[in-house]
Amino acid sequence: MINHFRPYSFILFCLFWLILTPRISAGLDTIGTDNLVPGMKGYGLSVFQGHDPIKFPVTFINVADGPWPGELTFLVLAELPEKYSDRGPLFGSGFSGSPIYFNGKLAGALSYVEQFQTELIMGITPISLMLEELERAKSSFLADMPEIEKISHEPLSKDSSRLQAGSMIEIPLVRGDIRLSSAGTVTAVIDGMILAYGHENFFWGDQVMLPMHLVDVSAIIPRLDLSHKIAGSGKEIGAVVWDGKQAVVGKLGISAPMTLFKLSFEYKKSGVVRHYNMEIVRHKSVIPFIVNQIVTTVIEQMAHDTPEERAFEIEYRVALSKNENLPRFSQRYNTKTLKSRIGAILHRLTENHPDDNIPESIGIYIKELATGKSARIRKAWFGKESVRAGDSVTLYGQIIHSTEEKMVISTTLTVPEDYSLDVFPVLLTSGSAIVPDEKQPVDHDSVTEWISRLLRSDDFVVLYPGARDKMAKYPEANVARTVKRIPWAVTGKAEAGIRVLGNN
């Protein structure tokens, strides 16, 4: 569950393993805040169980400053439906978007509530602000509707007879063996489009393309801090096309493109492989973050007793949207570095790609290696005290395993003939700390070339002067790297320096 806090409010919206339901309304009769007076009685609509919305009483309190600067909201005092009056606090996550009516006219959507209240005082987003989001969606995004409709390659559920104001929808980021999504309530259905939530969804802003599913509510879990609905997944009925500050806007009958993601985990002891098959929203900024979160979660669940020195072999299989398969590549990480590096590599692969050429599919195979595959760099030193420019010299590095087993590695370096400083410094580090180059890969060929130069955490890397600090510290030195692969995943770094004779 995700808790979204605003300056003085708690948005009624959360991440679930859930779904959605909704009936198509024709006209939209609304009432503005100018026509509301304190004490006016009205009602709201929301699903408490199943898929049919039921009424709950509300009383208008007053207009107040909204969650966003310069915008107004209004407050109502809500009551539970008579059927649930003895259940305690039920309003909470999943109620966002519940339509609020006065004199039978739509006034707005329930969107936030304070925690630990003694009375059920709710913040309402005026319908006028939500309709502005609808117009923005129509003018900017739906102008491209002919192209958008080409995306819809699978028949969607025609069961929209249940879709109505007060029904619930789900917006999944991930669906399949692992599900991660938000769920909220439909405020209005207008000409094949829906308004929902009364606030933003995932804070992306403006144009999006996210799947939209039906939801049935199994139960509401009452809590003093914030109650929440428990729901189960249903059929895909359309796509969310706009994520605005005051509402999300959905379009019925189209499908959002998804990236296929297969994650496999091989246990070190038994050799048994656990497979997870999922779809992730095809958004180049979201894919790396979500994949990283899923991999981290699986690692923690499948190898919960894994110490940080345990190593994992990771194989990546990526296909771009234009059916161009990238070369497979592998990495070796310990538990700690794996959590940060998985998303970083995928981010690098996707961030500069055009939207029509982000990954079509991603496969990650994780093999848990035996304990004793990780070590840290302790120190580095040269075999001589001094050299001259152009001479070769042996560099040594000591690596210590967690069991205190030691390994000394040596490599030969050559001081550039044109080197003019009096000390020649180098840095020894792990390959996982190195980014292949400064240029971003933007097409299949450049991505392939970039992948071919990816280093691993079991690569022992020597950085010559100039390879650090973007050439700022040693501007006269040539950049060079010498790599040796060792049996252990390496962490840490060590510096060494040798005096260069004749340079003053």
pLDDT digits (tens, 9 = 90+) for 183-226: 899 999 998 889 999 988 876 667 888 999 988 888 777 776 77
As beta bridge partners, residue 499 has: 386, 423
Q: What domain range is 287 assigned to?
A: 259-368
- The pLDDT confidence band at residue 336, using thresholds 50, 70 and 90, is low
For the stretch 222-274, pLDDT in tens is 776 777 787 777 889 999 999 988 899 999 988 898 999 999 988 877 788 99
Q: Two tokens at 1?
A: 């569950």
Domain identity same for 329 and 442:
no
Q: Are 248 and 380 members of one domain?
A: no
Q: Of 330, 353, 368, at which residue does a domain stop?
A: 368
* pTM, to two decimals: 0.75
Domain boundary among 222, 256, 290: 256
Mean pLDDT of the chain: 76
Nearest Cα to Cα of residue 341 among 491, 480, 176, 499: 491
Q: 152: pLDDT confidence band, cut at 50, 70 and 90?
A: very low
**Pair 105, 246 in one domain:** yes
Domain boundary among 256, 290, 306: 256
Q: How confident is the model at residue 14 (pLDDT cuts 50, 70, 90)?
A: very low
- Greater confidence (5 vs 107) lies with 107
**Would you put residue 387 in left (φ > 0), alpha (ψ -120 to 50) or beta?**
beta
Q: Are residues 172 and 234 in the same domain?
A: yes
Q: Are residues 243 and 287 in the same domain?
A: no
Q: Do 333 and 388 fall into the same domain?
A: no
pLDDT at 249: 94
Q: Is the domain of 204 the same as that of 172?
A: yes
Helix, strand, coil percentages, rounded to 5, for the chain: 15, 45, 40
Residue 369 near residue 307, CB atoms below 8 Å? no
Same domain, yes or no, for 64 and 206?
yes
What CATH number did the domain enclosing 288 receive?
3.10.20
Q: What is the total count of domains within the chain?
A: 3
130 with 156, same domain: the answer is yes
Average pLDDT score over residue span 87-102: 83
Q: Read out DSSP for 135-149?
A: HHIIIIIGGGHHHHH
Residues 189 and 101 in one domain: yes
Same domain, 162 and 65: yes
CATH of the domain at 59: 2.40.10.10
98 and 77 co-located in one domain: yes
